[in-house]
Amino acid sequence: MGYCRQLSTVVLLACALATSCGGDADGPSALACQTADSAGVELVMNEWLSTGPVTNRAVGSSPTTSLGGSAMEADESLQLSRIRDATRLSDGRVVVADGGSAQLRVFDAAGTYSGSWGRRGQGPGEFTGLASVAAWRADSVAAWDRWQNRVSVFDSAGEYGRSFLLLPGDDSAPRVVDLRPDGLILAMVLPISGPSERVSGLDRPNRNYVLLDDNGHLVRSLGESPGSEGYVHFEGDMLWSWQLPFGRSTFAALWNDQVVVATNDSYEFRSYRTDGTLRRVVRRTHDRAAAPSQADLDAHIEGLLANVPEADRAVQRASAANLPLVDAYPAYGRVKADARGHLWVEEYRLPGEDHQQWTVYDDQGCIREVVDMPEGLEVMEIGRDYVLGKSEDELDVEHVQVWALSGVTP
């Protein structure tokens, strides 16, 4: 499989994905990646030179492993519910942050349940708001509890080791965004208070991304970035708060020795050194789709209300009546770094689109490939040759699945 290779400091790359790069001959697509320097900041521009399918890497036709029992499973230890996160260890075991049981559920490389770590509670090694899990230093596993604002560390056998608070002594409530095996933590700090004035309308508070050490102490603040677009509506003493449908937001991830901060108002993301200085700005040409219609908005709201008790739907539907239409869809979705040091950017799915595409950038910010993910898979981790994620079957039973990535490039 071919890919675009950087040739020089200021470079023009052209990669005919339909021929030398494994694309579809009926729809040739070419890509150029230009790099320049501006006052010590690297500017990278990826430009599509023509249109057509560019997927040149595939996910298997079925998962290699599917974890979790069926709807009729009598053994509760095999049932997974409210899955928050999952990670694959070096020996092939998969650890699932299972919110329903407030436990870390562990499965061996073949998918057989092998035990649970932790339990519900507020004591050492216990959870009330289990939210994420990741491989940690010295073959240990770290799990973040959002309600207790702490990270608990277990050894590879599941023995509890220690816990630490995030930003201890600070009144803020940081949220873990990413944990790196060397102990570095990327967290997000949101404003503690709500809107300062009782005025209905758009609300987009900034968020602050911070780096923490393996004891939860502040290493560096990366400054403020725009948060998620929301809408607040005051009615008497009531405050209704909505995340704006099709609204823009900011995502972040630890990417090699950098931190990527990606605000999807436009197709651009920025990477920072761990000392907080800006290192690189990556852009891509992007034909912004037309704005959603009122019908799109109405269908989206009804989809959300389907999960609300019927007795409450009328009130919430009325509160959503004033939600405005955005003027354009976001440029992209989430960002994730893989085990090879590449950055994956989730392409934004328009209403009615079922496919899930991710664009993969190399460590220089140039596009290498575009990958189609299995429909309905919520990607949680991307390894060198696998994707780990959550899915639901036709009975809405949750599973964690491992999918093989074919055509792996160095």
Q: Average pLDDT over the chain, rounded to whole? A: 86
Return the pLDDT at 14: 36
399 vs 396: CA distance, rounded Å: 9
Q: How far apart are the C-alpha atoms of 335 and 44, rounded to whole Å?
A: 17
Answer whether residue 71 shows pLDDT above 90.
no
- Burial class, 100, CB count within 10 angstroms (exposed 0-12 / middle 13-18 / buried 19+): middle
| β 55-57/367-373 pair status | parallel
More confident residue, 32 or 191: 32
120 pairs with which residues across the strands?
127
| Whole-angstrom distance, CA of residue 29 vs CA of residue 33 | 14
pLDDT at residue 333, as a whole number? 95
Residue-by-residue DSSP string for 304-320: HHTTS-HHHHHHHHHHT
pTM of the model: 0.88
Give helix 294-305 / helix 310-319 axis angle, nearest 10°. 150
Q: How far apart are CA 198 and CA 180, in angstroms?
A: 41
Q: What is the pLDDT of residues 128-163, one digit of tens each?
A: 999 999 999 989 999 999 999 999 999 999 999 999
Residue pLDDT, tens place only, 335-362: 999 999 999 999 999 998 877 899 999 9
Q: In the structure encoding, which two tokens stand for residue 390, read together?
A: 């959550």
Instruction: Please report the pLDDT score of residue 56 as a whole number.
Output: 61
pLDDT at 17: 37
Strand 343-347 relative to strand 268-273: parallel, antiparallel, unpaired? unpaired
Q: Which residue has the higher pLDDT, 307 or 17?
A: 307
- Residue pair 268/225 in contact (Cβ under 8 Å)? The answer is no
pLDDT of residue 190: 84
Paired residues of 401 in beta bridges: 66, 389
Averaged pLDDT, 89-100: 96
Which class for 15: exposed (0-12), middle (13-18), buried (19 or more C-beta within 10 A)?
A: buried
Residues 209 and 185 sit within 8 Å (Cβ to Cβ): no
Give tens-digit pLDDT for 166-219.
999 888 889 999 999 999 999 999 876 655 567 788 889 999 999 999 999 999
* pLDDT tens digits for range 260-277: 999 999 999 999 999 999
pLDDT > 90 in the chain, percent: 66
The residues pairing with 31 across neighbouring beta strands, listed in sequence order, are: 48
Query: For 213-300, where are the E strands, in sequence order?
Result: 218-226, 230-235, 238-243, 250-255, 258-263, 268-273, 278-284
| Residue type at position 72 | M
The mean pLDDT of 98-110, rounded to a whole number, is: 96
What percentage of the chain carries pLDDT values higher than 70? 86
Average pLDDT over residues 295-300: 94
Which pLDDT score, from 0 to 100, does residue 322 have?
Answer: 85
Evaluate if residue 94 carries a pLDDT over 80. Answer: yes
